Chain A
Amino acid sequence: MNLSLHYPILLIVILFAGAYLTPLLGLWNKKICFPIAVLSTLISAVLSVVLLFSVLENNIVSYYVGGWEPPYGIELTIDPLSSFLSLVVAVIGFLAVVFSKNYVGHEISEKKQPAYYSLLQLIIGGMQGALMTGDLFNLFVMTEIFSISGYALVAITQKKGSLLASFRYLLLASIGTTFILFSTGFIYMLTGSLNMEDISNLLPLIDNPWVMYSGLVLLIIGFAIKSALFPLHTWLPDAHSIAPSPVSVLLSALVIKIGAYSIIRVVYTVFGERLSDGFGLIGVPLSWMASMAILVGSLYAIFQTDIKRMLAFSSIAHIGYILLGVSLASTLSLTGGIFHMLNHALGKACLFFCAGAIIYRTGIRNIADFAGLSSKMPITMAAFAIAASSLMGVPPASGFMSKFYLGLGAYQENWIFLAVILIGSLLSGIYFFKVLAIAYFSPIKEPDSKIRGPELPFSMLMPIVILAIASLAFGVLEDLPVTLIEQAVRLLLSN
């Protein structure tokens, strides 16, 4: 029995089995929920590393669930983009579970902890499933799994605004879900198949383009609601700022990337051969919406006083960068967009972990009260500074490399996009430097009596340090991810 064939499905099944084992064993002993969650996410992370090496050898790994051949059965297709993002999801998911060990007693009541760990594993498992699937309807089901887990995780603390934030997220994102199902129906009606590769072979034979275009537009709108593109972003600031910090990391660094990945997958793989010479009619509005997202997100972030709300608006701006890269459809801009997915995931995860650590230690959420934190929590503020410089685009941190690729690709298209990227980076410099200036250079107003003992427990310190080092490392050693991303982009654009 050759187990290495089955790594794709084992990745997903171990997470779902762990999600259902956690409440069962939580009935018996509540302390055992955390080890189960850590074990299942650790095994998933190891399997995703092995899968990455396997994909580097043979370009595409595919797996037929149930033994049925592709047009009849569900197929899992893993190409370089999928395995790259799957590694990012697995590692950041594992770090979020580790961070929750001490943080969870702070905000969530004791009897909800088995449910919390179970929902964490469900959301990571849903994201891995959405990344690996090669079937359009399976993508819809996995998107639903991680979305509903997201609504539940936002509301789990039952703090003052969290129920309303979760309700608003639910209302808006379920419109997106229904649009995705609707356009899956359109595509099935046109081609008679639900498998992505099969559809991409059958679509060039259709000669009535309007049903196909409306299917494509509905799919893009549905996934754009999930990834909070500019006019459809109103659910994001409340949901990401009120959620507990490990959940903010998962939502902001990973879930909105899966929305952007789904747009890439649908446009380039499914509809690829039908949309010749770039996007034409659909790419232009998408790139303008992405540019507005960069400017609006950065502008709103400057005026926020709560640190997590500022980071949430910054996420809206960075999704604008990623989707600008995706919609311009040239090799350089697509490389920049996908590389920015990695950098924003690492940087934003580190920033939200730092914010969570600050809230855990001192209870401070207002930026104006950050004075003197550089001496009370030195490692946390150093990691915050490194991650902030990565997101601002300061060399040698990794954000500089991805914005460089994006800028080059944008200039080839239209100089306005390059101007938007530069203005966006300047605005992000304003709000990040505000935080760093208050933390490092403001005089302490009154002696603080809330700090006692060491800075942070080890389980909270480790994710922060690992992510900060990774943000710096991928800027210096940028050919490691870039060779993989270029292999992915060549495969995507070869249609």
Chain B
Amino acid sequence: MNPVIIRTITRVLVPFIQLFGLYIIVHGPVSPGGGFQGGVVVGSSMILVALAYGLDKAETMANHSYRIIMDCVGSLVYAGIGLIGIAAGGMFLQYGIIPLPFTPARINNLMIFLIGSAIGVHIMALVLSLFLHTAKEAEIDD
């Protein structure tokens, strides 16, 4: 397969795929989508880079330590926002009571958006990690 065609198309398409994935993440509370689906789309754009340019190029986009940090920080932000609900006097994950100068519906929307973005980052790191680990393990010399 001629790599020039694949590499050119990848170079043109990847920014648009990532922008679309970011659109899905950000519009989580309002339209179909949300953190998980948008994260998978952005992660698959990085898999496209790995397929077209080789595994090492994708590794430089997000190396092992950054992926672990993105992974863990995503879930810790989720737990943290839940605990902010406790600190503000309500139950776990009750974000309507947090003393910010918005109406409770706006605060709900904002917190769901923050959790969605954290989960989006987590899933993006996860999808890339799965692909890179699988591809590296499968390098068998037959």
Write the residues of chain A forming the contact surface with B, with a CB cutoff of 8 angstroms: 1, 6, 9, 13, 16-17, 20-21, 23-24, 27, 63-67
Contact = CB atoms under 8 A, between A and B. Distances in A.
B94 A67 contact: yes
Contacts of A21: 72, 76
Contact of B79 (A16, A64, A65): A16
Contact of A27 (B68, B83, B91, B93): B68
A445 B87 CA distance: 66
B73 interface: yes
Contact of A24 (B68, B92, B94): B68
Contact of B92 (A1, A23, A27, A65): A65
Given A13-B82, A23-B68, A67 B91 contact: yes
Q: Which 3 A-B pairs have the closest CB atoms?
A: A67-B94, A24-B72, A9-B92
A33 to B, nearest CB: 13
A20 B126 CA distance: 13
Interface of B: 65, 68-69, 71-73, 75-76, 79, 82-83, 85-87, 89-94, 96-97
B71 A6 contact: no
Nearest to B77: A20
Contacts of A6: 86, 91-92
A1 B76 contact: no
Nearest to A1: B89
A13 to B, nearest CB: 6
A282 B85 CA distance: 44
Contacts of B76: 17, 20-21, 24
Contact of A67 (B68, B75, B96): B96
A66 B111 CA distance: 12
A6 B69 CA distance: 29
A43 to B, nearest CB: 14
Contact of B91 (A16, A20, A23, A63): A63
Given A6-B86, A13-B79, A17-B79, A64 B69 contact: no
Given A20-B72, A23-B71, A66 B92 contact: yes
5 contacts: A6-B92, A17-B76, A24-B68, A27-B69, A67-B90
A1 B97 CA distance: 13
Contacts of B82: 9, 13
B129 to A, nearest CB: 11
Chain A CB count within 10 A is highest, among B65, B87, B90, for B90
A66 B86 CA distance: 10
B44 to A, nearest CB: 22
A106 B3 CA distance: 47
Contacts of B89: 1
Contacts of B75: 16, 20
Given A13-B79, A27-B69, 18 more contacts: A1-B89, A6-B91, A9-B82, A9-B86, A9-B91, A13-B82, A13-B83, A17-B79, A23-B71, A24-B68, A24-B73, A64-B91, A65-B93, A66-B85, A66-B91, A66-B92, A67-B90, A67-B96
Contacts of B91: 6, 9, 63-67
A13 B81 CA distance: 12
Contacts of A9: 82, 86, 91-92
Contacts of B97: 67
A9 B79 CA distance: 11
Contacts of B96: 67
A83 to B, nearest CB: 18
A18 to B, nearest CB: 10
Contacts of A66: 85, 91-94
A23 B126 CA distance: 14
Nearest to B64: A27
Nearest to B66: A27
A63 B94 CA distance: 12
Given A9-B92, A63-B91, A24 B69 contact: yes
Contacts of B72: 20-21, 23-24
Contacts of A63: 91-92
Nearest to B86: A6
Contact of A1 (B73, B79, B87, B93): B87
Contacts of A65: 91-93
